[in-house]
Amino acid sequence: MMDRWLPRWGAAVLHPYVICFVVVMVARAQEGASTSRSVWDGVYTEEQAKRGEEMYRKECASCHGDTLVGGGGAAPLTGGTFLSNWNGLTVGDLFDRIRKTMPQGALGKLTKQQDADVLAYLLSFNKFPVGKTELQKQVEFLKEIRFEATKPVAK
Amino acid sequence: MIMERVGRLKCLSLIGCVVACLGLPATSVAQWKAKDTEWPSYAADLAGTRYRALDQINAANFNDLEIAWRIKTDNFGNRPEYKLEGTPLMVNGVLYATAGSRRAAIAVDAATGELLWVHGEHEGARGGAAPRQLSGRGLAYWSDGKEERILYVTPGYQLICLDAKTGVRVTGFGNKGAIDLKQDDDQEILPDLTSGEIGIQSAPVVAKNTIIIGAAFREGMTPKSMRNNKGYVRGFDVRTGKRLWIFHTIPKKGELGYDTWLNGSAEYTGNTGVWSQVTVDEELGLVYLPVESPTNDFYGGHRKGNNLFGETLVCVDLRTGQRKWHFQLVHHPLWDMDISAAPILADITVDGKAVKAVALPSKQGFLYVFDRVTGKPVWPIEEKQVEAGTVPGEWYSPTQPIPTRPPAYSRNGVLESDLIDFTPELHERGKAIASKYHLGPVFTPPTESKVDWPLGTLTVGTASGGTNWPGGSYDPETHTVYAFACTACAEPIGLVRAPKTVSDMNYIAGTAGEEVTILRGPGENAGADSPMPPKKRSAGGGYVALNVDGLPLLKPPYGTISAINLDKGEIVWQIAHGETPDVVRNHAALKGMNIPRTGQETYNIGTLVTKTLVIAGDGQITTTSEHPRGAMLRAYDKKSGKEVGAVYMPAPQSGSPMTYMMDGKQYIVVAVSAGAYSGEYIAFSLPASE
């Protein structure tokens, strides 16, 4: 079995189309690393934030509060501590944290789409501008959107 | 129960072998071991000092610190934890800590971080219903010279006794190594042992073979009922687990203080626990209990009267639990001031006279100082008239005790002069926000929230202000208390009528125009055994963000460390602690302005004092030209407050730092976590060589 597969795999690696694909992917990865978009570029829609608000009220508000300020020491989702926790990371990092740990006590209850909607609501609540396309639900794509606490000064 | 013995470093045995091979006399071993400096209790010692007279790490080399070892806590539970608040212990070369969403007890080699053993309790529904979940703040160590024991309390409120060498339960203690703290508590914990609300997250204390355990509850701003379980304090025999005594923090009929609860309200009112750290003077045989607020934090209409021993420092006998003296810091508590910090024992000299004192940092920014034998204030604490509120059904104390000395070390009221003032325009916008609230000095009472006015009372130095659970530290050489304080943690306190479907109280915390909901607290329903959360309903408007374009509503400093000399009752120095937040440093409206370091709005910073330094980490993440995204662990000259060094951490300090000396090397260990960074203990030490 191994004898048969090895030459085929080697041939595939060297195929011109494969080389071309790899070159394109590397280029896109490098582009991703520079993450050209930020939360100030209108990365969610109003409709999505509304869906997210509904879900937030059902699943998140009992701990984080109706006003997102947290409950006692429960993590605030607005204000200085929230902004400092995520400033310099990406929306994907925040999405990842939500996916890994929320809702507390019911991990995995929400779908990726619902989590993306909640995330849109958090951005909306924190006055990041609304846009024309929805936040996607793939963490890899969300990791290309920078979380910047302060609005970039126009150059 | 999971239990695994990963290994055990036989430090003393190993040292003995090496010494025997070298042919050194036994006294050499003793001398060598004597150089080790341990940290055997949560706050270093039972006096609550967080002090160690070490100076290998000092101003000249603090910047050279490097990470000696680190241990992530993700796998000590079935989900990662982002709120690691522990301070480990170090005894005999072994570091003990609580860790992870399981609140596991762990033992690691203090020199390398190698895991020696881990012990966790699967508590099922009981753990899932616990009001205080996650890893807690630590554990206690006890030894009689032969046996070594580790004691900690699970989220489900069981006291667990472990063999410190193996992590295995000590079967001769309690019921096979555990005591169900929901039983034998002079009350029936309601509604049942599984879901009955009571727990604790602080570390137990062991003094002269007595374990002392308090109690905590869920956040008390929005209770479902005026009736709740009570937070009594108990002492247990460390050898057998037998209950030795109990102190009723809400007096029973016939006990002193019962008559401070009008209309029999002592019978049904709950909470009033001791959730912060307990301090003990073993020599005097006295225990100092910092008692928290009664039900509910902001409305006391169902518990008229002064409410002893709510928000009272109580001194009890270590052997019997009998009250020796008490001093109520807040009559009829309405501000969630609690007593959040551990009392600190200090032998001081006032006007040439030696005083055995106890000093108490607080959320309200007063450092209360008493003779710890008699309970008499070292400097007068005067009953001052305070504003009476207007909330229907409430009962107000006409006066509150206010220390004459030392002066308040943290902002504890909000006036217009406290508002953001970087520019006149920002100040005007701050005033517009503040105008929606009732303002005033310390002890300005909560208001009923109204859509027109006021939304509530805008406070600071209440629920999350001043010094919170990390407490202060104390230098016994210079008789100086060091305490972090959040000076800009603004808290709007509004009260709304509670629908009967939500609470049987007349009022709970809320904002007019918003849905009335029950809030859960930090870590509640977050632990490894927690169930699904309840569903909530939609909300309306009324919310006001307490910031101006992201800038904090109150002016800097946002967080400080103060050095307060106890011989004189004076603030020696005060500095802003924590890098200026990115949102302030990079704000377009402040471009070109030279803004001194502001410190940070955070409430969980604890300090450590050594021979020469005060050490504390930043509580928020920043990115500056001097360091990448992260937080700094800072060292200050303890005499002047001048920063003398800083070392990078990947995440903010979330548990107070500790230090120890082992095999000739000093270590500093600190818990970090927040945001995307899950809990981790990091040990710093100096490089072996350049």
* pLDDT attached to residue B441: 98
* pLDDT attached to residue A152: 83
The yes-or-no verdict on residue B298 having pLDDT over 90 is: yes
Tell me which chain A residues have a C-beta less than 8 angstroms from the C-beta of B536: 57-59, 61-62
**CB of B242 less than 8 A from some CB of A:** no
CB contact under 8 A, A73 and B604: yes
CB contact under 8 A, A80 and B547: yes
pLDDT band, residue B578 (cuts 50/70/90): very high
Distance CA B561, CA B485 (A): 6
* pLDDT attached to residue A133: 96
The closest CB to that of A66, out of B532, B539, B545, belongs to B539
pLDDT band, residue A69 (cuts 50/70/90): confident
A 42-71: CB under 8 A from B: 54, 57-59, 61-63, 65-67, 71
Mean pLDDT of chain B: 92
The closest CB to that of B219, out of A72, A96, A151, belongs to A72
B 174-213: CB under 8 A from A: none
* pLDDT attached to residue B526: 56
* pLDDT attached to residue B513: 82
Distance CA B66, CA A62 (A): 41
The CA distance from A146 to the nearest CA of chain B, in Å, is 14
The yes-or-no verdict on residue B381 having pLDDT over 60 is: yes
**CB of A36 less than 8 A from some CB of B:** no
B 420-479: CB under 8 A from A: 463-464
End-to-end CA distance of chain A: 61
* pLDDT attached to residue B307: 98
* pLDDT attached to residue A28: 43
**CB of B534 less than 8 A from some CB of A:** yes
Q: Which helix H or strand E contains B355, and what residues bound it?
A: strand B353-360
Q: Compare all CA atoms of chain A with the CA of B220 and give the residue at the minimum distance.
A: A72
End-to-end CA distance of chain B: 46
- Tell me which residue has tokens 């003779």: B371
The C-alpha angle B596, B599, B604, rounded to 5 degrees, equals 175
B 623-642: CB under 8 A from A: 623, 629
pLDDT band, residue A67 (cuts 50/70/90): confident
**CB of A86 less than 8 A from some CB of B:** yes
What is the average per-residue pLDDT within B509-527? 68
The proportion of chain B whose per-residue pLDDT surpasses 70, expressed as a percent, equals: 91
* pLDDT attached to residue A72: 55
Higher pLDDT: B671 or A10? It is B671
* pLDDT attached to residue A105: 75
Tell me which chain B residues have a C-beta less than 8 angstroms from the C-beta of A83: 550, 581-583
The proportion of chain A whose per-residue pLDDT surpasses 90, expressed as a percent, equals: 52
CB contact under 8 A, A62 and B536: yes
**CB of B514 less than 8 A from some CB of A:** yes
**CB of B550 less than 8 A from some CB of A:** yes
Tokens of residue B391, six digits = 């909330």
* pLDDT attached to residue A106: 80
Disruptive mutation site among B543, B555, B677 for chain A (greatest number of A CBs within 10 Å): B543
The closest CB to that of B623, out of A63, A75, A88, belongs to A88
The closest CB to that of B601, out of A80, A88, A94, belongs to A80
* pLDDT attached to residue A62: 82
From the centroid of its chain, how far is CA A22?
Answer: 25
What residues contact B639, with CB distance under 8 A and at least 6 apart? B478
* pLDDT attached to residue B408: 98
The closest CB to that of A97, out of B526, B533, B676, belongs to B676
CA-based R_g, chain B, Å? 24
pLDDT band, residue B17 (cuts 50/70/90): very low
The yes-or-no verdict on residue B544 having pLDDT over 50 is: yes
**CB of A101 less than 8 A from some CB of B:** yes
* pLDDT attached to residue A65: 83
Please tell me whether residue B129 adopts helix, strand or coil conformation.
Answer: coil
CB contact under 8 A, B517 and A107: no
Q: Compare all CA atoms of chain B with the CA of A76 and give the residue at the minimum distance.
A: B675
What is the average per-residue pLDDT within B610-619? 98
**CB of A93 less than 8 A from some CB of B:** yes
What residues contact B471, with CB distance under 8 A and at least 6 apart? B43, B48, B50, B276, B277, B340, B341, B342, B344, B361, B483, B606, B656
Tokens of residue A148, six digits = 């910047």
* pLDDT attached to residue B529: 62
The CA distance from A25 to the nearest CA of chain B, in Å, is 27
Tell me which chain A residues have a C-beta less than 8 angstroms from the C-beta of B674: 81, 85
The closest CB to that of A84, out of B82, B514, B622, belongs to B622
The CA distance from B597 to the nearest CA of chain A, in Å, is 15
The proportion of chain B whose per-residue pLDDT surpasses 90, expressed as a percent, equals: 86
* pLDDT attached to residue A107: 81
The yes-or-no verdict on residue B539 having pLDDT over 90 is: no
The yes-or-no verdict on residue B562 having pLDDT over 70 is: yes
Distance CA B439, CA B413 (A): 8
What is the average per-residue pLDDT within B491-507? 94
What is the average per-residue pLDDT within B25-43? 66
Lowest mean pLDDT among A13-22, B97-106, B341-350, B364-373: A13-22
* pLDDT attached to residue B516: 72
Higher pLDDT: B372 or A76? It is B372
- A 10 A CB-CB count for B687 gives 10
The yes-or-no verdict on residue B300 having pLDDT over 90 is: yes
DSSP type of residue B550: T
The closest CB to that of B620, out of A65, A80, A106, belongs to A80
- State the ipTM, two decimals: 0.76
What is the average per-residue pLDDT within B180-199? 97
Tell me which chain A residues have a C-beta less than 8 angstroms from the C-beta of B601: 79-81
The CA distance from A12 to the nearest CA of chain B, in Å, is 39
The yes-or-no verdict on residue B660 having pLDDT over 50 is: yes
Tell me which chain A residues have a C-beta less than 8 angstroms from the C-beta of B622: 84
Residue B570 CA: distances (Å) to CA of A134, B562, B654:
57, 10, 29
* pLDDT attached to residue A88: 93
Higher pLDDT: B689 or B632? It is B632
The closest CB to that of A104, out of B519, B526, B550, belongs to B526
pLDDT band, residue B484 (cuts 50/70/90): very high
CB contact under 8 A, B536 and A58: yes
- A 10 A CB-CB count for B14 gives 11
Distance CA B326, CA A124 (A): 50
CB contact under 8 A, A85 and B543: no
What is the average per-residue pLDDT within A38-67? 93
Lowest mean pLDDT among A119-128, A144-153, B189-198, B385-394: A144-153
The yes-or-no verdict on residue B305 having pLDDT over 80 is: yes
Lowest mean pLDDT among A129-133, B25-29, B543-547, B548-552: B25-29
Tell me which chain A residues have a C-beta less than 8 angstroms from the C-beta of B546: 79
Tell me which chain B residues have a C-beta less than 8 angstroms from the C-beta of A62: 517-520, 533-534, 536
In contact, B511 and B449? CB cutoff 8 Å: yes
The yes-or-no verdict on residue B210 having pLDDT over 50 is: yes
What is the average per-residue pLDDT within B602-617? 96
What is the average per-residue pLDDT within B214-226? 93
Torsion of the alpha carbons at B492, B493, B498 and B504, rounded to the nearest 10: 140
**CB of A75 less than 8 A from some CB of B:** yes
**CB of B533 less than 8 A from some CB of A:** yes
Per-residue model confidence as pLDDT tens digits over B35-66: 799 999 999 999 999 999 999 999 999 999 99
What is the average per-residue pLDDT within B24-30? 39
In contact, B466 and B39? CB cutoff 8 Å: no
Longest CA pairwise span in chain B (Å): 85
**CB of A87 less than 8 A from some CB of B:** yes
Tell me which chain B residues have a C-beta less than 8 angstroms from the C-beta of A150: 550, 582-583, 586-588
What is the average per-residue pLDDT within B379-404? 98
What is the average per-residue pLDDT within B287-294? 98
Per-residue model confidence as pLDDT tens digits over B589-601: 999 999 999 999 9
CB contact under 8 A, B629 and A88: yes
**CB of A129 less than 8 A from some CB of B:** no
Disruptive mutation site among B83, B420, B554, B621 for chain A (greatest number of A CBs within 10 Å): B621
Per-residue model confidence as pLDDT tens digits over B106-156: 999 999 999 999 999 999 999 999 999 999 999 999 999 999 999 999 999
What is the average per-residue pLDDT within A128-134? 96
The CA distance from A81 to the nearest CA of chain B, in Å, is 6
